[in-house]
Amino acid sequence: MSKYPVREKEEEEIAEPSDNLYERMNIIIDKGQEPLRLDRFLTARIQNASRTKIQSAIESGRIMVNNKIVQPNYKVRPSDEIIMYSDKEVNNEEIIAEEVPLQIVFEDDDILIIDKPPGLVVHPASGNYSGTVINGIAWRIQQANPEVPAGNLPRFGLVHRIDKNTSGLLVLAKNEKSLTSLAKQFFDQSVKRQYVALVWGDFKDQTGTVKAHIGRHKRFRKIFDAYPDGEQGKEATTHYKVLERFGYVSLIQCELETGRTHQIRVHMQHIGHPLFNDVTYGGDKIVKGTVFTKYKQFVENCFAICPRQALHARTLGFIHPVTRKEVLFESELPEDMKKLIEKWRSYATNKGA
């Protein structure tokens, strides 16, 4: 296993319903199906799909049969299972290239790893059309290919994302083969993702698991909610481990099985432990502790030290799309969270918590 160590209250970004941008669709061939070329079968089956795009998807490995890569002329047979990964690559023609400072952790011909600071949006969206990670990547590609027109720049793939005010590691694919491999790993939940968070309250147990579907809030459509009975949203699982206890707050490690939008934030709120200073999910007020003047001032000072949800994507591991070796990237906690944790540690020590 290779390890690559990392060197060194604004409007909330509302993402799409999943932080994993690539989703999978399965088709089981009917028992009475006559032998038919895969590309022709899918062109007829999928609305608004051209045969050229279907063939390209098959050749790039985004469409497989019985979990194997095949050719467009493969003839489907009864009971075959067709697996298709959606194509949601960024279209460079729609992205404005801008010089955005990016902390590159690792780069080769196939992948790019970025350590994102808090406050930086990953993808252009409503309210954040410029100054994003993707704008910065487009500029970087343009600098490396000055002779190529902007609309013909090499394509790159955003496989997942992290919230605007969450810091930490992000991987991008630099070619279609890498994009397909990473998309499959994210969907199959084989990617290792560990986060560090400071949350309100103390935990009864040292470790635990939260299983609750995540979907749009029934009343406030710009945020998300947990649905433990699975009546809405998508399945989501978060494992947590207590790292330190500071009395009124706890430092925890979270490991994701799934990658739903705001998953850790929603799950922690659901079990009564909202992230410290999470404006969207109720962590920006005193949740635990008696509200007296001295303590209130202490908490407000903590909010000022870390003016965002205290969440950091610390670890990212996966199988390299080309070398097929397992790689692991780690990011140090940013300064605002370091100072916040130290302040609470000192407070807990002095109070005997």
Q: Which of 19, 163, 225, 284 is catalytic?
A: 163
Residue 151 backbone zone (phi > 0: left; psi -120 to 50: alpha; other: beta): alpha
Tally the C-alpha atoms within 13 A of residue 164's C-alpha that lie toward its C-beta: 23
Q: Are 337 and 233 within 8 A, CB to CB?
A: no
φ, ψ (nearest 5 deg) of residue 302: -65, -40
Q: What's the rounded Cα separation, in Å, for the pair 253 and 16?
A: 25
Residues 98-126 as b or e (16 or more Cβ within 10 Å = b): eebebeebbeeebbbbbbbebebbbbbee
- Catalytic, 110? Answer no
Which among 307, 208, 219 is positioned nearest to 10, based on CA atoms? 307
Which among 90, 92, 91 is positioned nearest to 142, based on CA atoms? 92
User: Coil, strand, or helix at residue 313?
Assistant: strand
Which among 344, 269, 348 is positioned nearest to 306, based on CA atoms? 344
Q: Are 22 and 123 within 8 A, CB to CB?
A: no
Residue 262 backbone zone (phi > 0: left; psi -120 to 50: alpha; other: beta): left
Structure tokens at 38: 């895969």
Which among 167, 200, 199 is positioned nearest to 332, based on CA atoms? 167
Catalytic residues: 163
